[in-house]
Structure 1
Amino acid sequence: MDYLKEVEGKKIHDPIEAKMVVQSSRRIWVDGPVIVGAGPSGLAAAACLKENGVPSLILERANCIASLWQHKTYDRLRLHLPKQFCVLPLMQFPANFPTYPTKQQFVAYLEDYTEHFGLEPVFNKTVVSAQFDQRCGCWRVKTLGLKMEETEYVSQWLIVATGENAEEVLPEIEGIDDFCGPVIHTSSYKSGEMFRGKRVLVVGCGNSGMEVCLDLCNYNASPSLVVRDSVHVLPQEMLGRSTFGLSMCLLKWFPIRVVDQFLLLVSRFILGDTAKFGLSRPQLGPLELKSISGKTPVLDVGTLAKIKTGDIKVFKAIKRLTQHAVEFIDGKVENFDAIILATGYKSNVVSWLKETKMFSEKDGMPRKPFPNGWKGESGLYAVGFTQRGLLGAFLDARRIAQDIKQSWKTDAKPFIPFTRAPQSPSS
C-alpha cells in the first residue's frame, strides 16, 4: 500500500503523507500530532486537522475504529440523542438514517467517515506511556504491539482521544466471588437471548442499565434493577420534539433552572411520579445536575412502563451476595441466576499519561471544566472529555485543529535527531 514506506528495511506508517524518520527500529518521528484513540473523538480531530492542512497519526489499541461501539455495546443499542446532535465535523449522517440511528448504522457512518477523509489509524498499538521531553520540546509516546514489541513515536503535539469510557467500572461488592451465577459487565452483554427464563439483577440505573432491563424483558427473562441513588428519568421526546433538542432550544432563552422546572413538569405529566416506583429524583434539576456533576439523565425508551407493570422490579443498594442470593440494604433477600453490572466506564488517562497539570489524578478528566478543558501545556490537547457526548467532541476537534494550524507552518520543529538517522524518502 502506498502509505507504507521503507527505511533501512523497516516499514513505517505514513497515513496522510506526513514525513516520518526512523531513529531505530523502535523510534518514529511524526511530522504532525499523535492522536491516541480511534474512536469518534479521535477520528473527528484527525479529520479537522486534515481539513486545515495538518497531518496526524492515530494510535489505537484495538484492531478497529470505534472499538467500544463495535465490541462492547449491546445489539439493540441506538443513539439516545437525535442524529443531528451526534454528527461529526464536516460530514452529515446519510439522509435515509432514522432520527435515532442503530449501533450498526452509527458504526457504518464512522467507517465511511474514516474512508472519506483518508484516515489510516495504526491498530493494535497500546500506549503505555506518554511524556513530554523538555530537552527536545516533544512528546515521546511509547506503545506495545500484539507481540509486545515496543515502538516510540515522537511528536511536537499530543492529542488525548481515549475518552471518558476507556475502562469498565467494576464495583466492589461483598461476596461477589461467592456468587455461583455469571457476573458480567454490560460491555460483555449482547442480548437477553442467553438469559431466557432467568432471574437477572441489573446493577446500575443509567441509560444502559434501564435499556438492558427492557431488552431482558423482550427475551422473557425476569429482570430486577438496583437503584442505589436518585435519578432523573425523562421521556425521550416531549411536545413532539426530542427532549434534548427542546432543552437546547429553551436554554437559548431561559436560565437553566427555569428549563429544568419545565422539563420536570412535562415529565411528571407524561411519566407520572417516578418516586412511586423506586426512582426518586435528585434535588437539583436534570440539566443543572448534568452541568455540575456530569451525571446524565435517563431518557426513557419504554423501561418505565415495564417497571410500572411489575415486569421489572426495583431494589435498593446491595449489601452483600451469597451463592445464589442477594441481600439488599433494606433487609430484603432475593435469589438470582445472573448479575449484570451496568456500572459504567471511566477514563484511563492517568495510567499512561505522565502529566498531572491538565488531567486530574483522581478521575483522569481535565481539571478545567467545559468549555476550557481541551487545551493543556506544551502541545497537549484533549478531545471527547466534555461529558457532553459527541456534541462536545465536535466542538473540541474544531478548536484543536484551529489552534494547531496557527503554529503548524511557523513553529513546527524539524526532525530532532536523538541519534543520526536516515531521512525517509520524500512523499
Structure 2
Amino acid sequence: MSELLARHRAVMPSWLPLYYESPLEIVSGKGARVTDADGNTYLDFFTGIVTNMLGYDVAEVREAVERQIAKGVVHTSTLYLIRSQVELAEKIARLSGIPDAKVFFTNSGTEANETALLLATYARGSDEVLAMRGSYHGRSFGTVAVTGNKAWKNSSLSPLNVHYLHGTDHASPAFRGLTEQEYIDVCVADLREVLDTTAPNVACLIAEPVQGVGGFAMPPDGLYAAYKEVLDEHGILFVSDEVQTGWGRTGTSFFGIGNHGVTPDAMTFAKGLGNGFAVGGVVARGDLMDGLKALGVATFGGNPVSMAAAGATLDYVLEHDLQGNALRQGATVTEGLRALRELACVKDVRGKGLMFAIEMVDPATGEPSSPLAGKVLEATRERGLLVGKGGVHGNVLRMAPPLTLSSEEAAEGRDILLDAVRAVAGQA
C-alpha cells in the first residue's frame, strides 16, 4: 500500500484528502461490508460519502446496468430521446410533490446545484443568494461561493452576492440559552433584517435540510417553513439541496425538507440515487425549469447506464420501504450512542434516520477537537468499522450506512462506536 500511496501523492493534488494514517484501498464489497487490498473486511457506515445507498453488489442494480451495456449503447447524449431518462424523471417529478415538476439530469451534486442557481438567478434577474452558515454545496466556482464552511472554501471570489443565515448554530454562545421556538424566532428576525438592510433583490435561498459536510448539523424542524413564509412575501425562491438527505435517508420523510413541512421551488439530488453510478439532477417547478432562454445540454448527464442504475435503485428503495428501515435502524444506533453524551469529550450525538453523528471536543476546554475525532476514526477502523469525518472544525464523526442495513449490523456498528469512543476518551 505504501507504493500506491506514493504514486497517488506524486500525481494527485495535495488538497485531495485521504482518510487514515495508513490509507486503505477498497477492492470488493457485498451488502454493507467492504474488503481492502490487504484482505481486511469492514462494516461500512460511510458508503463512499453517502453514495452507495443500497450497499454493494446489489443484484437488481447490477443486472439493470448489465442489460443496458449488453445493448451496446452506453451513451447517446440528450440530443436523442432516452426512454429510461424519461421514465426516471416521471418518478422523481411525482415523488417531489412540486407542482408541474420537470427534471434535468447532471453528473453530480455540484452540477445540480450550479443548475439550480442558474435557474433561480435567471428567473429573478439577480445575483443575490441566501445560504446557510456551515453549509456545503460543491467544489465548483459557483457552489463554493454559496458554501458557508471555510474548510472547503478556497476563494472569496464569487460570481454571486451571498448572504449567510443562521439555522444550525443553536449551540453557539449567542443562542444556546434559547428554546427551539425562540431560536427559530430569532433566526427569522435576522432573515427579515438581512432583507431589509443588505439584500434588495434576492434570487433564492439554497439550503441543506441536514448539513452533510457540516457534520450532520441540522436546523430545528420548522425553521425552513418559517423562513419560507418570509421568502414568499418577497417572491424569493427556495432550493433544497437533497444531495445527502434524499430518498428516505432521514427516515421521517422521503426528502429531507419534508421534516419542515415545506414544498420547495426546486430540489437538487445526486449521490445515493445511482448507488455508486454518477448521477445528479434538479427537479423544479415547470415554469422555473422552462424559464431559461438559451439552449442547454448535459453531454453525459442522464446517460443510459446511469439511468438504468438510478431507476433500479429508486425502485428498490420504494419496493423495500427503505425509508421505514432507515427510521428503525437509525433509532437502534442513535439511541444507543446517546450514552456517549456522559463523556467529557463528546459534545453531542445527533441524527435523523440513517444520518447520525458524534461531535468531539477537548475534555479540558470544551473546544472542538479534530485530533480526537481523528483518533476515533482510527479506532473504529481497527475494530472493523468505516465512518466519516466532517464538521466546520473537523471534529465530527458522521455516519450514513446503507439504507438496507440489518438490525444485526446496526447493533454491531453501534457497539463498535461505543467501544471506540470510550477507548479514545480514556486516553484523552
On whether the aligned pair clears a TM of 0.5, the verdict is: no
Q: Which one has a bigger Cα radius of gyration?
A: 1
More helix by share: 2
**What is the TM-score when the length of structure 1 is the normalising length?**
0.32
